[in-house]
Chains A and B, each alone.
Chain A
Amino acid sequence: MRALRRNRADAAPRDPAPSRWGYRFQRWMLTPGLRRLILVGLPLLALGGALAGWAAQESNRQMVAEAIAKARMEFLSREEFMVRVMAVDGADDGLSRRIRTVLPVEFPISSFDLELAAMRAKVAALAPVADAAIRVRPGGVLQVTVEQRQPVAVFRGAEGLRLIDAEGVLIGPLAARADRADLPLITGDGARAALAEGLRLYDVAGPVRHRMRAVVRMGERRWDVVLDRGQRILLPTRTPIRAFERVIALDQAQDLLGRDVTVVDMRIADRPTIRLNEQAVAELRRVNGQEQEAGDE
């Protein structure tokens, strides 16, 4: 019988059989779940652990953050993205000066740092600006394209003279009426709301045009046309244009306005009324008296 207990000295020189525990270990390692865990899970875990340990130090985190910020800065401040000049198109000198003051951009600046939407809102909020577009043009130019409001009249309000555009928007102050003598003057409460009608009065004025001082909105419902020499034409609430045209026709036929008339009241269409100067009234009375006396005689 062979020795039951294996002696180290006379043990077989090389036994190919794995030990019981070696065999078990190998089988254990061939278990699919465990195999995946070891081949994928453990390296991932080690990597994650090392990364977490490294990131646990404040200085390391700071270093990473700085490196990222620096790389970002470097990228943002590349020559291709730099904006050096602002160009304003479609605005006169005064407006472009105002645009430059409301957009305090310090050039050169990276185009990533420009907030175009906010800038556009700022520019569009300016009174004389009807519409605005802002973009960064190739070549590092901040292009501001502005559509300026065109003044169509001068409005006199409580604050003084203002320019006003066709939509009734106040554009800006005017120092003196004489600065824009070419524009009609409009005033009165609610005049801005009925601007188109007021301007129409100017259009139909024709021969009286050069005598017109202003159109005045009265009580937010009707117009007065103020001429020089203190003359005033009171127009009705409805169909003021036709009433005004009648006055002009009357003037052309009988030189109404050339006479000593203070007020032509057209408010009641069936009964146009005129008011004379006091002297004219007195003169009229005198002339009438003479005629009466002559008649009496």
Chain B
Amino acid sequence: MKDLYQSQRAMRNMRQAAMQRGVIAILDVGTSKIACLILRFDGPDRFRDSDGVGSMAGQSAFRVIGAATTRSRGVRFGEVEAMAETERAIRTAVQAAQKMANVRVDHVIACLGGGLPRSYGLDGQAAVEGPVVTEADIGRVLSACEVPDYGEGREVLHAQPINFALDHRNGMADPRGQIGNDLTCDLHMLTVEAATIRNLLHCINRCDLELAGLASSAYASGISALVEDEQELGAACIDMGGGTTSLSIFMRKHMIYADTVRMGGDHVTGDISMGLQVPLAMAERIKTFYGGVMATGMDDREMIDTGGETGDWERDRRSVSRAELIGIIRPRVEEILEEVRMRLDAAGFEHLPSQQIVLTGGASQIPGLDGLASRILGQQVRLGRPLRVQGLPQAATGAAFSASVGLSLFAAHPQDEWWDFDIPAEKYPARSLRRAVRWFKENW
């Protein structure tokens, strides 16, 4: 746990340095596209009260000054598969965004779609030293959490305290300053494959960029696609991406569960390509133009020119009806949604007070998806689009960019994580010496 602590703290410091400089880049390395946003932080005082812009979710603190998207290469299931290809794709996106922003960025906050995330609920207990709860007490109770054996080759991506209980009072967001004896906390820990992180880190470093933060894409799209009430009362955000469908459950403004289904829009495209025997590019085009999941009588008559592109233009002029296309798409989408349903059930989603489900991500744009999803997932389903942030180009406001926008919010206002609190002094090996050094630093 120590080195994780150190590396995450180093990332926090890097983020602080980037904030000082005022420019930071957001990199969403997905299976189908790589998006890069460049944010400029001008400080919180850019709006007067009369402008009607409060701090909101922190999106008033920054402005998007550069945005670029490129087709992703070398990524499968949200994981880097061919390093050189991915690196070049990242370079393309970063360069285009820099060109638009007309500024150089050195710090980047990235998100991770794949890597088999696994959620753990941890709890810890510690006695409060002194009359009121202090930050040191929180650090102590966090370090008292019993960390399960999450396996070799995995790393902690998030470790967020989601609930504090002081004596018999439960559901505290911030117990600091409260009077009590016994502090208990619940921690949500998310681990991913270490190799996935390492590969992504390597690609980013090869582009001369420094990683200033890392977040799960399920978490990022959750904080941008869910509105505040949904985050408070309990909701699930389902980000249907190209290679993976990630889902995150929010409750009391904290992510309490995250998981991914390793299926997404690319699989739909593959099905179309195989079913209609057309190239992948053509299948993608047909999917985006004519795709759907609910067939009606009208669709039997709507013929789609598939264009075999076998070179025999005279003979090979196949066409399919839209109903046939829907017949290919629908089973795969149902499969994905059923898989999601299983994960939600496993997480105990039905026990939440509100069971809102928000579909976002590029693949959620299939017409009729909300109707299909409400049959599988439950009645409270809506399609979500990311929060509006300042300066974001129109082209990047779609559902496909909810992870990028969420990462921007994450960059502006990162949630307190385990490593933001000091490790209690007892955990230091050379305790007395270090305390002596610290005493010197503080007093001189």
Interface residues of A (CB under 8 A from B): 2, 15-18, 20, 23-24, 26-27, 30-32
Contact = CB atoms under 8 A, between A and B. Distances in A.
A26 B68 CA distance: 16
Contacts of A32: 103-104
Contacts of A24: 208
B208 A26 contact: no
Contacts of B103: 30, 32
A2 B404 CA distance: 31
Interface string B93-110: 011001100111000000
Contacts of B95: 18, 23, 26-27
A17 B89 contact: yes
A17 B98 contact: no
B92 interface: yes
Tell which of A15, A17, A18 has the most Cβ of chain B within 10 Å. Answer: A17
A17 B102 CA distance: 18
Contacts of B70: 16
A17 B104 contact: no
Contacts of A31: 104
Nearest to A30: B104
Tell which of B98, B104, B208 has the most Cβ of chain A within 10 Å. Answer: B104
Nearest to A16: B92
A24 B104 CA distance: 11
Contact of A23 (B82, B89, B91): B91
B382 interface: no
Nearest to B98: A30
B280 to A, nearest CB: 16
Contacts of B207: 23
Interface in B142-189: none
Nearest to A15: B88
Tell which of A16, A18, A32 has the most Cβ of chain B within 10 Å. Answer: A16
Contacts of B98: 26-27, 30
A18 B92 contact: yes
A155 to B, nearest CB: 90
B92 A27 contact: no
A19 to B, nearest CB: 9
A32 to B, nearest CB: 7
Contacts of B88: 15, 17
Given A23-B94, A26-B99, 7 more contacts: A16-B92, A26-B98, A27-B95, A27-B98, A27-B104, A27-B208, A32-B103
Nearest to A34: B104
A4 to B, nearest CB: 9
B36 to A, nearest CB: 13
Nearest to A27: B104
A16 B88 CA distance: 9
Interface in B183-229: 206-208
B348 to A, nearest CB: 43
B191 to A, nearest CB: 30
B342 to A, nearest CB: 34
Contacts of A20: 91, 206
A53 B323 CA distance: 79
Nearest to A4: B84
A30 B102 contact: yes
A31 B98 CA distance: 11
A286 B187 CA distance: 161
A18 B94 CA distance: 10
A30 B102 CA distance: 7
Contacts of A2: 82
5 contacts: A16-B92, A23-B95, A23-B208, A27-B104, A27-B208
B107 to A, nearest CB: 13
A152 to B, nearest CB: 86
A169 B103 CA distance: 85
